[in-house]
Amino acid sequence: MAKLKRSDTLITMRCSVCKRRNYYTHKNKKQVERKIELKKFCSWCRAQTPHKEARITGK
Ligand SMILES: [Zn+2]
């Protein structure tokens, strides 16, 4: 697993259609202040859908 810097926050990218979490990533809070929204392929919807950032709760 990649080492996480202290300023990096682990997040998930959640499909806005089926609400499933499909991708894990992390972002640097100091560099990225806006919420991330990306078009990604959802294997549940079988289509490109908007994926929104979702915070992972707990550890
Ligand atoms: Zn989906």
**Which pairing describes strands 21-28 and 47-55: parallel, antiparallel, or unpaired?**
unpaired
Q: How many domains does the chain have?
A: 1
Q: Is residue 2 part of a domain?
A: no
Domain range enclosing 13: 8-55
pLDDT at 51 over 70: yes
Cα of 14 to ligand 1 centre, how many Å? 8
pLDDT tens sequence across 9-37: 888 999 999 999 999 988 887 776 788 89
pLDDT band at 58 (very low <50, low <70, confident <90, very high): low
Q: Give dist(CA 52, CA 39) in Å, integer.
A: 9
Distances from the Cα of 59 to the Cαs of 11, 20, 55, in angstroms?
A: 11, 19, 11
pLDDT at 2 over 70: no
For residue 6, the CA-to-ligand 1 centroid distance in Å is: 31
Domain assignment of residue 51, yes or no: yes
pLDDT at 6: 73
Q: Is residue 3 part of a domain?
A: no
Ligand 1 centroid to residue 18 C-alpha, Å: 4
Q: What is the distance in A from the centroid of ligand 1 to the CA of 34?
A: 22
pLDDT at 33: 74
Task: Please count the CA atoms within 13 angstroms of the CA of 26 that sit on its side-chain side.
Answer: 11
The whole-angstrom separation of Cα 51 and Cα 30 is 21
